[in-house]
Amino acid sequence: MTDNLGAPLPVFHDRDCDLSIIRGKRVAVIGYGSQGRTHALNLRDSGVVDIVVGLKAGSATRARAEADGFPVLTAGEAAAGAGVVAVMVSDEAHRDLWRDELAPAMKPSAALVFAHGLSVRFGLVEPRPDLDVILASPKGIGPRIRDLYEEGQGVFCLFGVHQDATGGAHALGLSYAAALGCGRKGILETTFAAECESDLFGEQVVLCGGVAELVDAAFMKLVKAGYPPEVAWFEC
């Protein structure tokens, strides 16, 4: 049933976004894993020329970031000089990273960008009131987002503004998402809470719960109907 769906979300495309905004910023990408690397490379290929990567000492991804041509600093050093700080480390690291390195270092009126809303939604990060706080959550794994970008395509992105200290957070967030290539497909405006809660529901209820149970039930149905278990296993 699809009753009571409510109004459609606002959707933005490249024509609605001003890339010059993000191109005029120094961007610090904190973390250089699957998402961090993709964000940094796509931003650069979209004309953002001032990008630094923030990593902890001894990070296994330091060599790759340097080989890709990015200056590597500590997270605090990277954040201190940036107009946009994109947090691309795992959610469980956000609380300590924010408290110990980003919060003391970020300059007033800078923007804090997250690819997932969990740490803001559940209070792991409580951003300073003088910062813009933006969600830019492409709906895909990092390497796939990168591959599609290089092919001239993109993925859908969920975008939202949690805090607009400067009055320019909305335009900056759209500019950032478009630089990832998402304006080619569609940037949907929502909230940190909606993105976070629906993502957790999809992971825990559908992917780790419903799908697994459906596969098991389908396998047993075929076996009980007399089909060889080996055949049923391949089909389910």
Residue 164 identity (one-letter amino acid):
D
Two tokens, residue 229 = 């278990």
Q: How many residues does the chain have?
A: 236
Give yes or no for a contact between 30 and 6, defined as CB atoms under 8 angstroms apart.
no
| 3-state DSSP assignment of residue 150 | helix
**177: Cβ–Cβ under 8 A, 6 or more apart, which residues?**
12, 17, 136, 138, 157, 159, 183, 187
- Alpha-carbon distance of 140 to 63, in angstroms, equals 25
Measured CA to CA in angstroms, residue 19 lies from 34, 60, 137, 184 at distances of: 23, 32, 18, 13
- Alpha-carbon distance of 36 to 142, in angstroms, equals 8
- Choose, from 13, 39, 94, 116, the residue flagged as catalytic: 116
Half-sphere exposure of 10 (CA within 13 A, CB side): 9
- Alpha-carbon distance of 198 to 7, in angstroms, equals 17
Is 116 a catalytic site residue? yes
Q: What residues are labeled active site?
A: 116
